Amino acid sequence: MSEQQAAAPQGQFAIQKIYLKDVSFESPVSPEVFTKKWEPEVNMEINTASKSIADDVVEVVLNLTITVKLEKKTAYLAEVQQAGIFTIKGLTEAEKSRVIATACPNILFPFGREAVAEIVSKGGFPQLLLAPVNFEAIYAQHQAQQAKAKEEQGQVPSDAMH
């Protein structure tokens, strides 16, 4: 077997569709907020959800919730659910889990960031550009936390057996 054949990927990964599943924007203290000096406190929550919708086809939803406060009051709350449908086949469950937790959100995040920037601007506020997110690091941290929790329960992590 040549080196090229040995290095050839066995699985398939394809984007079928990317779409905005849900969007919400609230500015509970407008118009008064526009008369204040703009020195906001920004908090972003991010998570993902996935579900199988057919054999080898999964929907992944990236949830972005941005709360911006000014003088302890919520200036605005923006929520975006950016979704995609992906074909993922020929991978082990662990590989598939990693792709769903890292590759899919990496693809969805720029679309979600654009949606947030647009709705914030349309809400009358200065443009908000979200910083990049390292989904690989988040996944690694989550895996480490799961392994530690299993260890504390006296269980051997499943990854340790392979």
Residues 6+ apart with CB under 8 A from 105: 48, 60, 62, 133, 135
Q: CA-CA distance, 1 to 76, in Å (whole number)?
A: 59
What are the beta bridge partners of residue 23?
A: 80
Confidence of residue 9 (pLDDT cuts 50, 70, 90): low
Give the model's pLDDT for residue 155: 57
Q: CA-CA distance, 49 to 140, in Å (whole number)?
A: 17
- Token pair for residue 10? 């066995």
Q: CA-CA distance, 35 to 124, in Å (whole number)?
A: 12
Give the model's pLDDT for residue 11: 85
At residue 125, does pLDDT exceed 70?
yes
**pTM score, two decimals?**
0.82
Residue pLDDT, tens place only, 102-118: 999 999 999 999 999 99
At residue 160, does pLDDT exceed 90?
no
Give the model's pLDDT for residue 1: 46
Please name each of the domains of the chain with its CATH number.
9-154 (3.10.420.10)
At residue 72, does pLDDT exceed 90?
yes
